Amino acid sequence: MKEAALQGAEVLVIGNGRTGNSVAKYLLGCGSEVVLCDQSPQAVCAPDLATQVKFHAGNEGAGLVAGKSLVVPSPGVPATAPVLLRARDLGVPVLSEIELAATALKVPLLAITGTNGKSTTTELVGAMLRAAGRRPFVGGNLGTPLLLALENDVDTVVAEISSFQLEWVEDFHPRVAAILNLTRDHLDRHGDMESYGEIKARIFQRQTPDDVLIINRDDAEVRRLADTASGEVHSFGRSPLLGRGARIHDDRIEVVGASETFAVPLVSAALDGAHNEENMAAALLLALALGVPQAAAVSVLDGFVGLPHRMERVAEVAGVTFIDDSKGTNVGALCKSLTGFPQGRVILLAGGRAKGASFLPARELVAEHARAVVAYGEAADAIGDAWSSVVPVQKEAKFSDAFTAAWELSVAGDTLLLSPACASQDQFINYQERGQAFAALAQGLDS
């Protein structure tokens, strides 16, 4: 929705977190009348908004929709929420924060989605742009609302985009987009893989032949979605390359561009693991599509060490290495992580809230790489049902007890891997808190 159309409009913003507050401030700047609500009775309006918006704590918003020109939900609000069903019944438009931001941006937008690898790839591209002397804004689902790009002196926007953010877009149009992979995740919200894929595909549906779409050609579902793309498609993967893109070999990433072909040795890259090889290949293609010189893009790979809670080494005690992969919140992420370890030397700590996904797709890799599994929390029984026929599975209710059990099973030379394949919210606020708890427990063993 154009800024001019927001002048004088009465808009309902749902959610009093960082995204909701950013939306409220943006709308006020456009001349809108803002009603901000949050379902928590303890919610308190931000001081700089308190005198400018109508604030409702302990209100999910369904009774506030009538008469509004627009509803803007925070990403955590599902499409089945009563407030959004009410908006649909009354014919009130619903748009996401990323839609408002993308419509107002005056600089090129690069958007990255996929089930796994989004954050690492997004940060890599941002670093490559900075190495080329550009001034990128890097945010979105990383934790910084896209609207904040409008407040900064930037020449490019690089955004991690989730399926939750794509639920309510109409004209979202990135100059360069990427779908890294698609595995079973968030089915508790989206219902099935077909619906999940359709939502992910919205990242490129407004692209034109002048735009670029980067895809993982080894992912059959991603290839199927890309069949409808209007933009120029470049691909990365391990299979033979046709056209422009990147191919991952055992020792290098080979890139074929419009006028040049070059290879990047993997031995010098700071990131480890097959999943990171894919992230690096995708980032190279994305950066090149934005005009980043080859030398600048490649230079970043030698020093980029990855993100917190994604295959992060947090301790080594009595010959046991502790790896925090708390950001691995789905089965696909677990599979990617396991492939980087020797056979039979992993003590796997997994569990949490399962989000409706099956654990069976990881069974073969768990059997190959894990010597034992300790499952905890809401998903413990489901994990045991899926894997106990191929590897010993011990079940614990509490995360701390599961950590202790995993440590007791470990011997020198093992890796104690937290790769939960689940959301954290059964026992933690978010995956960051879960990872911090794991690191504290591991580091406490050596104190």
The tens digit of pLDDT for each residue in 70-93 reads 999 999 899 999 999 999 999 999
Cα–Cα distances in angstroms (integers) from residue 220 to residues 135, 182, 216, 223, in the given order:
35, 9, 9, 5
**Reported confidence tier of residue 357, pLDDT bands at 50, 70, 90:** confident
Query: Going by DSSP bridges, is the β-strand pair 10-14/70-73 parallel, antiparallel, or unpaired?
Result: parallel
Burial of residue 317 (CB within 10 Å: 0-12, 13-18, 19+) is middle
The catalytic residue among 59, 116, 141, 330 is 141
Contact by Cβ (8 Å): 237, 247? yes
pLDDT, tens digit, 9 for 90 and up, residues 387-435: 999 999 999 999 999 999 999 999 999 999 999 999 999 999 999 999 9
Single-letter code of the amino acid located at 139: G
**Of 446, 380, 381, the residue nearest 407 (C-alpha):** 446
Q: Give yes or no: 327 in active site.
A: no
Residue 243 to residue 217: CA distance in whole angstroms: 12
pLDDT at 307: 82
Q: Give yes or no: 190 in active site.
A: no
The phi and psi torsions of 50 (rounded to 5 degrees) equal -55, -35
Q: Which tokens in the block code for residue 74?
A: 């925070």
Q: Give yes or no: 152 in active site.
A: no
pLDDT at 380 over 90: yes
Coil, helix or strand at residue 429: coil
**Reported confidence tier of residue 341, pLDDT bands at 50, 70, 90:** confident
**Residues whose CB falls within 8 Å of the CB of residue 413, separated by 6 or more in sequence, listed in order:** 319, 320, 345
H helices of 17-71, where? Answer: 18-29
pLDDT at 185 over 90: no
pLDDT at 212 over 80: yes
pLDDT at 447: 58
Cα–Cα distances in angstroms (integers) from residue 265 to residues 30, 98, 238, 262, 270, in the given order:
49, 36, 15, 10, 11
Coil, helix or strand at residue 245: strand
Q: CA torsion 24→29→33→34, rounded to 10°?
A: 0
The whole-number average pLDDT for the span 245-253 is 95
pLDDT at 329 over 70: yes
Angle, alpha carbons 22-28-30 (nearest 5°): 105
pLDDT at 356: 82
Residue 233 to residue 224: CA distance in whole angstroms: 12
pLDDT at 186 over 70: no
- Output DSSP code: residue 424: S
> For all residues of the chain together, what is the average pLDDT?
95
pLDDT at 149 over 70: yes
Residue 12 to residue 94: CA distance in whole angstroms: 10
Instruction: Provide the β-strand partners of residue 57.
Output: 38
The phi and psi torsions of 393 (rounded to 5 degrees) equal -125, 120
Q: Which tokens in the block code for residue 407?
A: 């440590």
Residue 311 to residue 324: CA distance in whole angstroms: 5
Coil, helix or strand at residue 113: strand
Query: Going by DSSP bridges, is the β-strand pair 346-351/370-376 parallel, antiparallel, or unpaired?
Result: parallel
**Of 424, 345, 315, the residue nearest 378 (C-alpha):** 424
**pTM, 2 dp:** 0.87
The catalytic residue among 25, 56, 118, 190 is 118
**Reported confidence tier of residue 4, pLDDT bands at 50, 70, 90:** confident
Whose tokens are 């670029």? That residue is 212
| Range in 11-15, 91-95, 116-120 with the lowest mean pLDDT | 116-120
Angle, alpha carbons 123-125-126 (nearest 5°): 65
The phi and psi torsions of 75 (rounded to 5 degrees) equal -60, -25
**Of 280, 270, 286, 335, the residue nearest 115 (C-alpha):** 335
The catalytic residue among 25, 68, 186, 355 is 186
Residue 157 to residue 135: CA distance in whole angstroms: 9
pLDDT, tens digit, 9 for 90 and up, residues 292-309: 999 999 999 999 988 889
**Of 177, 183, 135, the residue nearest 160 (C-alpha):** 177
pLDDT at 163 over 90: yes
pLDDT at 184 over 80: no
Residue 192 to residue 282: CA distance in whole angstroms: 26
